[in-house]
Structure 1
Amino acid sequence: MVLSKALRLYGKDNMKIDEVSLPEIKDNEILAEVMSDSMCMSSWKLAKEGEDHKKTPNNLKDHPIMVGHEFSGKILKVGSKWQDQFHENEDFVVQPNLARDDTPFVPGYSYPYIGGDATYIIIPNEVMELGCLIPFKGDSYYEGSLCEPVSCVIAAFDAQYHLIPHTYNHKMGIKAGGNMLIVGGTGPMGLLAIDYALHADTKPKRLVVTDIDQAKLDRAKELYPSDEVEVHFVNTKGLSIDEQEKLLNAKVNNEKYDDLFLMISVKPLAEMAGRLMNTDACLNQFAGPVDKSFSADLNFYDIHYNFTHVVGTSGGNAENEAKAAKLIAEHKLDVAKVITHVLGLNAAAETTLSQPEIGGGKKLIYTHKKFDRIELAKVDPDSELGKILKKHNGIWSHEAEQWILNNMPDI
C-alpha cells in the first residue's frame, strides 16, 4: 500500500491536504510519483463551483477528488497490460483532456486517485487507452508541468482556419505572414501564446499584444524579442473602445487582423475584435467565460460577404500535448518565463483559492515539499535561491528547481 498526500476538493471552497491510502494497482493501471504541478485558473473555477462544475462527480463531501491537472513526474510501477509501452523510472506528462464521449470526467477534476497536487497517484486505464500518458524527455519537472498549458495554445493555433483561395475548403492553422492580435495577452497563457507565435513553424508577419498593465507589457517585451516577427505591445488602459480600435488598426497599417485571440471574456472587447477582422479572418475565444450566458454581438454581414470565422478551444488533446512535450524538451519554447511563484504542497489550497488576488503568472507546486509560496521577484538577491535566480535574469531554471528539491523540507 502506498500513502499519498494530496490536495482534495470536498465542495465549494472546501479543499484540504489529506493522506490517502492508494489501493494496489490493477493490471491496466500505472502507479506514478508526481514531482511538480503548475496551477491553472481552471482549478480556481473548479474550487468555486464544486459539485456544480460539469466535470465533478456528485457527493464530493463523501467522495472528494484530487485537484491539479498540469503535472509531471516519474512512473513507479506498470500494470501488465502496459508493460510493453511504459517503463519504471520513465518521466511522464499527462494530457488531462481525455475527450471521451461517455463522460466529462478527467484527471484533476473527477478522480479519487489521480490529480497533480499529490505525491503519488494511480493513472487509470483510460488515460493510456486514449494516448494521454506521454513520455517526457525534458531536463526539468517544471517543463513537464507546463506541457499542458502549451498544448492548449497549440490547440488554439491549430483550430484557426482560413479559406483556400477560390474554394470553400479551409487550411487549418494561423495565416502565415498575417496579422495577429492577442487581446489581454500578458497573463501566463498569453505569454505562452506569444512564445509559440514567435517560434512555431508558421509565424505571423505582425503580432500585436494588448493589456492594461504597463509593467506586464514591459516585461513581456523584454522576455519575447523577435528578429522575424514585428511585435507591438500596446497599453489600452483608459482608452475608449473606439480609441482602442483606431490604435490597433494603426498598428497594422489599417490592414486589420487575420488571427485574433481573446484571452479575456469582455463583451465590448469581443465586439471590437469582430470589427478588427480582415476578410477571411478567424477569431478565437480562448478564455473560458465564467458566465454561462456570456454573449456578444456578431456581424453576420461580414460572415456572409467577408467570410469571417469564429472558433473556440478549450484545452488541448493528446497530439497537442505530445507536440508541446517535444518542443519544450528541445528548448524551442522557454516556458520558465511564465513562472512567477513556487510553493510546496502545504500552500496549494490557499494559493488555488487566492489566484485572482495573487495575480502574476504560473504558480508552480513541488508536491513533495513543504514551504510557503515564494514570489520570485521578491526573493532576497543575497540568498542562495536569489543568487541562482539572478544568474538566470530572475527566471526559473533547472538549477533553481534542483535547489528546491535538495533544500526544502519534505511534506
Structure 2
Amino acid sequence: MKTEAVRLYDVNTLKLETFELPAIKKDEILVKVVTDSVCMSTYKAVIQGSKHKRVPENIATNPTIMGHEFSGVIVEVGEEWQDQFTPGEKFAIQPALNYKGSPYAPGYSFEFFGGSATYCIIPREVMELGFLLKYEGEAFYEASLSEPMSCVIGGFHANYHTKTGEYKHYMGIVENGKMALLAGAGPMGLGAIDYALHCDRKPSLLVVTDIDDTRLDRARSLFTQEEAEKQGVQLHFINTMKEADSVKTLMDLSGGEGYDDVFVYAPVRPVIEEGDKILGKDGCMNFFAGPSDTTFNANINFYNVHYTPTHIMGSTGGNADDMIESLDMSSKKLINPAVMLTHIGGINCVIDTILDLPNIPGGKKMIYNEIDMPLTAIDDFEKLGENDPFFKGLAECVKKYNGLWNAEAEKYLLENGKRRD
C-alpha cells in the first residue's frame, strides 16, 4: 500500500513524499486517514527536531510522519484484533500513549504512524492501550477535533481543590463557581467556553479575556450572553488591553472574591501573573499553554500559595475517557468543536501551514488528506466563490450554520474537491 505523507527529517525540514508502507503485522491495523487538524505542538516539534522529547534522534535516516489529531476509516485488520474491529469502521485516535513510560506518540515518533498521511499503520502500542476508538458520528472533522477538545476537557478534570483540615484533593472545577479563561478567545479557549457552558459541572460566572477584538467579537457571536444565561452562567468578554487596571476589572466581576478556576491559554508571562492575582481562596490556576522555551518562568505570589491556599498546576493532553466524553457530547450536539476551526486545506499545504503556524491568524486548521487545496480561511469562501463555483458551494454550506464548518460542507468538499489521485 502506497501512502503520501509529510515527514520530519531535521529542524524545520519537512517533506511531502509518496512511499510504500510495509504489510501490516498480525497485531497492527491499516487505516485511511481522512482528516487531520494541525496542532501548535507539531510546530514545536518541527522547530526543535530531534531535541524534542518525543522525536527520535535518527529522523535523518528514519523520518517520522507528522500529525496527531486525525480520523478516518479502517482498511485492514490484523488477525489479533479481528474480533474487535472491522474494515469500513470510522475511527479516532487518542495520541497520548505513554506506552510503558515511553514519550513516543503519533505525529512525532513513528515512521509509519501519523495523521499527515493518506494511509498509515496503527501499531500494537495503540491497540494494547485501547486508544483506537470507534467513531460513529457523521463528520470526520469532529473526530479529529475530539483530540484537542479532550485536552480542554482533561484540563477541567485536572483542576483540583481542597478542604481545610482534610488531606484530600477534590478533582475538577468548582460547580457553580467562578471561572476565568485568560487569553481565551483562541481555538482552545473557544472549545473551553463551549464545554464550560454545556458540561454537567458548570460555573456560575465565566469571564473570557483576550487582547484582540476580532477574536473576542467572534467569540461573542458564537456564545451569546443570552444563551449562556439559559445554561445558568453569567458570561463576560473582556479586552484586557483596554482596561486601565485589568486585575481590578476582573476582581470586580467576581464580586471581589477572586476566581475558583483560572485557565491560562497563552504562554505569556503577564497573563500568568494576572491569573495568579485573581485567584480566590482555594483557587486553582491551570497553565494550559505549553511554552517552547525550556527556561520560561513567571512570578507567583507564594504568600497566597501558603496562606490562602492557592494552587498552581499545568495540564497537557487528555486521556481516552476525555476523548470518549468529547465524542459523546459532539454526537449529542451538546458541544460543537467546529467553533475551534477557521481554515480548511489539503495535504499539499501542510508543510507551509506547520512552518508558518504562529503567524496564521484564526483557530484550528483542518486538513483533508485526499484533497489538493490551498489553506483557505472559511471566512474567505464567499469572496472566492464570486469567481470559483467550488468555493461558492462551500460558502453556501457554511452560511447555513452561522459561518461554521459542518458535516454538509465536509461532504461537499470530499465529493467536489480536487483529488490528489
Q: What is the TM-score of this pair, normalised by structure 1? A: 0.97
Secondary structure of 2:101's partner?
Answer: coil
Which residue identity does 1:399 align to in structure 2? Answer: E
Aligned AA for 2:249? L
CA–CA separation in structure 2 for the residues paired with 1:99 and 1:318: 12
Offset of residue 394 of structure 1: 1.1
Q: Distance in 2 between matches of 1:339 and 1:271?
A: 29
Q: 1:1-52 CA deviation, whole Å, 9 max, x = no partner?
A: x000011111111112111211110000000010001111111111111111
The letter for the 2-side match of 1:393 is N
CA–CA separation in structure 2 for the residues paired with 1:206 and 1:282? 15
Q: For 2:393 and 2:150, locate their aligned partners in 1 and report how far apart those are by CA, in whole Å.
A: 33
Count of paired positions: 408
- The code of the aligned residue for 2:161 comes to H
Q: CA–CA distance in 2 between the matches of 1:16 and 1:334?
A: 33
Does residue 410 of structure 1 match 2:419?
yes
Q: Distance in 2 between matches of 1:239 and 1:205?
A: 23
- Tell me the SS of whatever aligns to 2:398: helix
Aligned to 2:389: none
Structure 2 CA distance for aligned equivalents of residues 196 and 358 of structure 1: 25
Which residue pairs with 1:230 in the alignment?
A: 234
CA displacement 1:288-314 (0-9 Å, x = unmatched): 011111112222222222121111111
Matches within 5 A, 1:142-161: 142-161=141-160
**Is the aligned partner of 1:192 residue 2:191?**
yes
RMSD of aligned Cα (Å): 1.3
Matching residue of 1:389: 398
**Is the Cα–Cα contact under 8 Å of residues 243 and 249 in structure 2 kept in the other structure?**
no
Q: Contact between 2:338 and 2:406, CA under 8 Å: does it hold in 1?
A: yes
Q: Does 1:362 align with 2:374?
A: no
**Is the 8 Å Cα contact of residues 136 and 329 (structure 1) preserved in structure 2?**
no
- For the Cα contact (< 8 Å) 2:126–2:132, is it kept in 1? yes
- Greater CA drift, 115-124 or 296-305: 296-305
Secondary structure of the equivalent of 1:402?
Answer: helix
1:205-354 correspondence to structure 2 within 5 Å? 205-225=204-224, 226=228, 227=230, 228-239=232-243, 243-354=245-356
Q: Is the 8 A contact 1:160 1:284 kept in 2?
A: yes
CA deviation profile, 1:88-122 (whole Å, cap 9, x unmatched): 11111001100234321101100011111111010
Identity %: 43
Distance 1:129 1:58 in 2: 25
> After the TM superposition, which of the residue ranges 201-210 and 384-393 deviates more from structure 2?
384-393
Distance in 1 (alpha carbons) for counterparts of 2:306 and 2:248? 24
5+ residue gaps, structure 2, are 387-391
**Counterpart Cα distance in 2 of 1:139 and 1:244:** 43
* 345-354 vs 220-229, which moves further: 220-229
Residue correspondence of structure 1 range 26-45 to structure 2 within 5 A: 26-45=25-44
Shift of the alpha carbon at 1:239?
4.5
3-state SS of 1:237 partner: helix
From 409, 412, 421, give the equivalent of 1:400: 409
State which drifts further: 266-275 or 89-98: 266-275
Corresponding residue of 2:162: 163
Distance 1:183 1:66 in 2: 33
Contact 2:282 2:311 in 1 (8 A): yes
**Alpha-carbon displacement from aligned partner over 1:173-197 (angstroms, at most 9, x marks no partner):** 0000111011100110010011111
CA distance in 1, matches of 2:264, 2:399: 34
Structure 2 counterparts to residues 164-183 of structure 1, below 5 A: 164=163, 166-183=165-182
Distance in 1 between residues matched to 2:337 and 2:270, nearest whole Å: 31
* Pairwise CA distance, 1:396: 0.5
> Helix, strand or coil: the match of 1:23?
coil
Q: Which runs of 5+ in 1 are unaligned?
A: none
Query: For each residue in 1:227-253, what CA deviation from the matched residue of structure 2 results, as whole angstroms up to 9, or x when unmatched?
Result: 22100000012546xx11011111112
Q: What is the alpha-carbon distance in structure 2 between the residues aligned to residue 172 and residue 143 of structure 1?
A: 27
Shift of 1:366: 0.2
Task: State the alpha-carbon separation in 2 of the partners of residues 70 and 224 from structure 1.
Answer: 25
For 2:293 and 2:56, locate their aligned partners in 1 and report how far apart those are by CA, in whole Å: 21
Provide the rounded CA distance (Å) in 2 between the counterparts of 1:151 and 1:77.
Answer: 27
Are 2:183 and 2:271, in contact at CA under 8 Å, matched by a contact in 1?
no
CA apart distance, 1:272:
2.0
CA distance in 2 between counterparts of 1:321 and 1:274 reads 29
Amino acid at match of 2:257: E
Q: State the alpha-carbon separation in 2 of the partners of residues 92 and 247 from structure 1.
A: 45
Instruction: Note if contact 1:11-1:47 (Cα within 8 Å) is conserved in structure 2.
Output: yes
Residue of structure 1 in register with 2:374 after alignment: 372
1:374 to partner: Cα distance: 1.4
- Equivalent residue, structure 2, for 1:85: 84
Deviations 1:359-403 (A, max 9, x none): 111100000111111111111255121122222221101110011
Distance (Å, rounded) in 1 between the aligned partners of 2:10 and 2:16: 14
CA deviations on 1:123-158 (whole Å, 9 max, x unpaired) are 000001112111111110000100100110111000
Distance 2:284 2:269 in 1: 17
User: What SS does the aligned partner of 1:321 have?
Assistant: helix
Counterparts of 1:150 and 1:215, CA distance in 2: 22
